[in-house]
């Protein structure tokens, strides 16, 4: 500040000297007064925040400047003037600084003075205690904050994954706060690929699902990632899929308050979301459905479809959602269900062009252990098991008796009798 004041006095002396030099050249008193008025305007009429910036930046423009604690207090003047805060005076934010020299550790800046709504949202969020200054943790240097529509902004849609990844991609912070390291999983997902490789602004980033300031725990019913809210959260982008899901049995049960039914993240996961047409997703889709439908998984694994899929990882064989649909899953009793008896020929003909009424008699979930549901298969299985075990038991007993007989004859006659017999 002292240096800035000296600079102002020096500029005033230069202007006075310049005015004196004009007098010998015929500049009259009126003109002199006009010029003096202009000088006074330049000194005192310029907005105060420009003076404040000039005064502060006379020291703080030095990027190597540090406070008593060794923290950098240098400001990039060009970035600051171009930032969203560039029109403010320094003391608008650093309101505790009234004069120079100021304290080595002035009072912390309170962003809530201007951003009350955002501060209130953060105060009740999971980030409330995550940092001494959560605002700059996400928005970056307070003197270089740009609008979210600016590519230089830390919260520009394409930059958000990296910004969040500063914490959620850190093993140290993940261990300290008991968090999952989700950054790498997201970046390898279909959403992360769309952001990082394709540069799609409409692709889902962290903020698309979790929000910005009022981020709540997924256990909080008001959170966008709370179980019952997930279909609406994902549906903000996937509207058609959301409608299909809500019209299916899973969506209807969820609306009735059944939280055990699957939602988007149960099948697709939250961060490591794969393209559904990828081989990796198709190969893991059946166990995903089977995690709830255990009986159906067991019977499916006995079928040709499953055996072919497991044999060399053949990915084109029918999976659960090839027959039941992926999102609008309906009971077989529903006339609109693809596995309703009236629709089976159409459903099977997607893969089997020659499917007919006889072909669709095939039972993909036949249970040979259920006598009531599949009596013929039950008795065939029972007969084959009895035949198998009967045959094995008979020959086991026959071999055992033959061995006992041979042993007795050997003991009775000895080696000589056995040789004579030969």
- Among the listed residues 215, 331, 191, 328, the one whose alpha carbon sits nearest the alpha carbon of residue 268: 191
Cα 130 to the center of its chain, rounded Å = 19
Predicted confidence at residue 210, as pLDDT, reads: 96
State the average pLDDT over residues 212-217.
94
- pLDDT bin (cut points 50, 70, 90) of residue 422 is low
Q: For 179-210, how does the pLDDT look when each residue is reduced to its tens digit (9 = 90+)?
A: 888 999 999 999 999 999 999 999 999 999 99
State both tokens at 250: 């899973």
Q: For 290-324, how does the pLDDT look when each residue is reduced to its tens digit (9 = 90+)?
A: 999 998 998 898 888 888 877 766 778 888 999 99
Predicted confidence at residue 10, as pLDDT, reads: 46
| For residue 332, pLDDT beyond 70 | yes
> Is 312 or 153 the better-scoring residue by pLDDT?
153
Q: For 381-420, how does the pLDDT look when each residue is reduced to its tens digit (9 = 90+)?
A: 899 999 999 999 999 999 999 999 998 888 887 555 555 5
Quickly list DSSP for 78-126: HHHHHSTTTTS-HHHHSTT--SSSPPSSPPPP-GGGT-HHHHHHHHTST
- CB under 8 Å to 53, separation ≥6 — which residues? 80, 89, 90
Other CB atoms closer than 10 Å to residue 200's CB: what's the count? 15
Predicted confidence at residue 4, as pLDDT, reads: 40
State both tokens at 346: 């159409």
State both tokens at 105: 């550790």
State the average pLDDT over residues 323-337.
95
Predicted confidence at residue 53, as pLDDT, reads: 67
Percentage of the chain exceeding pLDDT 90: 52
State both tokens at 334: 């529903």
- Among the listed residues 88, 55, 60, the one whose alpha carbon sits nearest the alpha carbon of residue 74: 60
The dihedral over CA atoms of 231, 235, 238, 240, expressed in degrees to the nearest 10, equals: 90
Q: For 23-72, how does the pLDDT look when each residue is reduced to its tens digit (9 = 90+)?
A: 555 555 556 566 555 545 444 444 544 455 678 888 888 888 888 888 88
Q: How far apart are CA 372 and CA 93, in angstroms?
A: 78
Cα 257 to the center of its chain, rounded Å = 25
State both tokens at 325: 């649909």
Model's pTM, two decimal places? 0.73
Predicted confidence at residue 282, as pLDDT, reads: 87
State both tokens at 365: 């979930």
- CB under 8 Å to 287, separation ≥6 — which residues? 297
- CB under 8 Å to 20, separation ≥6 — which residues? none
Q: How far apart are CA 331 and CA 340, in angstroms?
A: 8
Predicted confidence at residue 18, as pLDDT, reads: 46
Place of tokens 């394709």: 198
Sign of the alpha-carbon torsion through 136, 140, 141, 145: negative
C-beta separation of 22 from 29 below 8 A: no
């Amino acid at each position: 500040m002292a240096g800035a004041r000296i600079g102002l006095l020096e500029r005033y002396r230069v202007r006075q000297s310049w005015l004196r030099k004009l007098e010998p050249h015929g500049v009259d008193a009126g003109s002199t007064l006009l010029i003096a008025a202009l000088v006074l305007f330049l000194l005192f009429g310029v907005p105060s925040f420009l003076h404040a910036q000039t005064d502060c930046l006379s020291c703080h423009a030095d990027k190597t400047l540090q406070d008593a604690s060794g923290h950098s207090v240098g400001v990039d003047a060009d970035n600051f003037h171009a930032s969203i805060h560039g029109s403010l005076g320094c003391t608008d934010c650093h309101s505790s600084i009234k004069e120079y020299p100021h304290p080595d550790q002035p009072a912390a800046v309170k962003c809530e003075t201007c951003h009350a709504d955002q501060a209130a949202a953060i105060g009740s969020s999971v980030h409330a205690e995550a940092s001494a200054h959560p605002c700059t943790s996400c928005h970056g240097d307070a003197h270089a904050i740009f609008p979210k529509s600016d590519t230089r902004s830390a919260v520009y849609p394409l930059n958000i994954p990296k910004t969040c990844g500063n914490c959620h991609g850190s093993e140290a912070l993940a261990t300290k706060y008991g968090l999952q390291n989700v950054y790498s999983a997201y970046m390898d997902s279909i959403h992360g690929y769309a952001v990082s490789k394709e540069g799609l602004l409409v692709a889902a980033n962290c903020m698309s699902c979790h929000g910005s300031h009022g981020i709540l725990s997924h256990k909080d019913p008001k959170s966008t990632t709370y179980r019952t809210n997930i279909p609406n959260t994902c549906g903000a982008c996937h509207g058609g899929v959301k409608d299909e899901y809500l019209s299916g049995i899973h969506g209807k049960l969820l609306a009735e308050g059944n939280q055990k039914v699957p939602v988007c993240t149960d099948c697709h996961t939250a961060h490591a979301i794969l393209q559904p047409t990828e081989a990796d997703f198709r190969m893991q889709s059946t166990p995903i459905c089977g995690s709830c439908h255990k009986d159906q998984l067991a019977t499916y694994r006995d079928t040709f479809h499953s055996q072919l899929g497991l044999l060399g990882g053949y990915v084109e064989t029918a999976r659960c959602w090839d027959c039941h649909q992926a999102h609008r899953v309906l009971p077989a009793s529903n006339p609109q269900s693809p596995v309703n008896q009236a629709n089976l020929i159409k459903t099977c003909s997607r893969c089997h062009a020659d499917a007919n009424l006889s072909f669709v008699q095939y039972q993909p979930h036949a249970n040979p252990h259920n006598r009531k549901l599949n009596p013929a298969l039950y008795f065939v299985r029972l007969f084959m098991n009895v035949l198998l075990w009967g045959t094995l038991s008979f020959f086991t007993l026959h071999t055992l008796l033959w061995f006992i007989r041979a042993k007795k004859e050997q003991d009775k006659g000895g080696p000589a009798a056995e040789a004579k017999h030969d």
